Amino acid sequence: MTIRYTNTVSAVYLLVCLFFTSASSRSFIRQYTDDFNTNMQQESGERANPIQGEVHYLHKHQEISSRNNELSASNTVKGLRDRPPSSYSLKMESFNTLLKSTTERYESRPFSAAGYNWTLVVYPNGNKNDNGAGFLSLYVTIDNSTLSPHQEVYVDLRFYVFNRNEKKYFTIQDTDGWRFSFFKTMWGFSQVIPVSTFKESRNGYLYDGDHCEFGVDVTIPSVFQTSELFSVADKFQISRFTWTIRGFSTLLGDTYYSDVFSVGGRNWNIQVNPSGRASGEGKALSMYLILNANEKFRPYEKIYVRAKLRLVNQRNRFNNIERQLDNWFNGPGYGDAFGWGSHEFISLSDLKDSSKGFLVNDMLVAQVDIEAVSSTKYFPN
């Protein structure tokens, strides 16, 4: 019994010793490996980590990307422009040095535009984290120290690259706005120009050895404060007005007007000049659809009207004389187009020939069918 107990104690003691020995060995091996890796990094010249401090532009959790998933390449617009950038210009005289350097990017000093501070960022060999390898990449970053965590700034960006051959600026922009925020401070283009194209001096981007120029326009479009709503109505409860003129031969004045009638929310008159006016004077009857003189208009307001103006043939309704109107009417005092019709609607000889059917028993029938009338609402009123 004593022998069995002694053997059991010895076995337990042996297991405990093995456990501590194993743990010490693992600790020793791990420490040795860490020291070895550290020495290898220092000897191989691996890039040092940057000193950590307060940074306003880029943060570890940010995705460095030129666009979000909702934007597509089809929104990109490229072209040439005479005018230089309006927000910031960056000229370089040693660009080849950057191309050969291990430095990934160049950041300009901060500049102010549209009420915020920005930095122009150039990747000479492309932003590899944004699928820009082999291309010149251009971005701007916003100083988010003045942004609240939930604030968003919508910005229009246009990037510039000067071309000496063309004496113009190559520009690239997106038709959609860019949405900057506290967590998304960097936007731009990862593939502006292929590096091979940019480096070739005959293409005009690098000149006088290795000089070049970049730039950017940063604008924040303001939301409109005034607006208007234009609409056209083409269904009316009553759209026809008929004016029967009796005793036509007794009309000795120059101009006569029908009673006021309303269609499409506007008041109208038919105007008749029995002896004609303008080119029809003395040889034809002139007739027009006009806006009533008491109509209220806003400055520069116009009304679109589609209508049929006619003289009714009292003997044969299929032989009416009709003029199609498809015009813009101006309010009185804002131009001459407050009425439309014809200076020579019907010759006086045909009008006075009773067999033609337009003047019967000294009675003339004028008519208009208004088919469409526009209206415009202005905000604020």
Of the pLDDT bands very low, low, confident and very high (cuts 50, 70, 90), residue 147 is: confident
Together in a domain, 88 and 184: yes
Would residue 65 count as lying in a domain?
no
Torsion of CA 46, 51, 54, 59, to 10 degrees: 20
For 85, how many CA atoms within 13 A lie in the half-sphere containing its CB?
Answer: 24
pLDDT digits (tens, 9 = 90+) for 280-302: 999 999 999 999 989 888 888 89
Give the three-class secondary structure for 70.
coil
Q: Please report the pLDDT score of residue 332 as a whole number.
A: 61
Would residue 14 count as lying in a domain?
no
Q: What is the CATH number of the domain that holds 165?
A: 2.60.210.10
Q: Which of 175, 200, 219 finishes a domain?
A: 219
Sign of the CA dihedral with 51 first, then 52, 53, and 56 last: positive
Together in a domain, 184 and 292: no
Together in a domain, 286 and 171: no
Residue 268 lies in domain = 229-379
Together in a domain, 279 and 348: yes
Average pLDDT, the chain: 83
Would residue 68 count as lying in a domain?
no
Together in a domain, 167 and 266: no
Q: Please report the pLDDT score of residue 1 as a whole number.
A: 44
149, two tokens: 């965590």
Together in a domain, 121 and 237: no
pLDDT higher than 90, residue 105 = yes
* Of the candidates 149, 231, 182, the residue with the CA atom closest to the CA atom of residue 62: 182
Together in a domain, 263 and 145: no
Would residue 98 count as lying in a domain?
yes
Together in a domain, 273 and 354: yes
Mean of pLDDT values over 301-323: 95
Helix, strand counts (H, E) of the chain: 4, 22
With DSSP H G I counted as helix, E B as strand and the rest as coil, what are the percentages for the chain, rounded to 5? 20, 40, 35
pLDDT higher than 60, residue 371 = yes
Region of 333 on the Ramachandran plot (φ > 0 left; ψ -120 to 50 alpha; else beta): left
108, two tokens: 């300009």
Would residue 244 count as lying in a domain?
yes
pLDDT digits (tens, 9 = 90+) for 246-255: 999 999 999 9
Of the pLDDT bands very low, low, confident and very high (cuts 50, 70, 90), residue 83 is: very high
**Could you give the residue ranges of the DSSP H alpha helices within the chain?**
2-44, 95-100, 195-199, 348-352
Mean of pLDDT values over 88-109: 91
Together in a domain, 211 and 234: no
Together in a domain, 254 and 138: no
Q: Please report the pLDDT score of residue 22 as a whole number.
A: 44
Q: What residues contact residue 149 under an 8 Å CB cut-off, 6+ apart?
A: 182, 183
Residue given tokens 């597509």 in the structure block: 72
Would residue 93 count as lying in a domain?
yes
Give the three-class secondary structure for 69.
coil
Mean of pLDDT values over 128-134: 94
* Of the candidates 370, 336, 332, 359, the residue with the CA atom closest to the CA atom of residue 274: 359
Would residue 103 count as lying in a domain?
yes
pLDDT digits (tens, 9 = 90+) for 59-73: 333 444 444 434 455
Residue given tokens 């003997």 in the structure block: 315
- Per-residue DSSP letters for 34-61? HHHHHHHHHHHTPPPPPPP---SS--TT
Of the pLDDT bands very low, low, confident and very high (cuts 50, 70, 90), residue 5 is: very low
Count of the separate structural domains present in the chain: 2
Would residue 20 count as lying in a domain?
no
The Cα–Cα gap between 248 and 259 comes to 16
Say if residue 124 is preceded by a cis peptide, omega within 30 of 0. Answer: no
Together in a domain, 139 and 245: no
* Least trusted range by pLDDT, from 42-56, 159-173, 234-248, 348-362: 42-56
Together in a domain, 260 and 373: yes
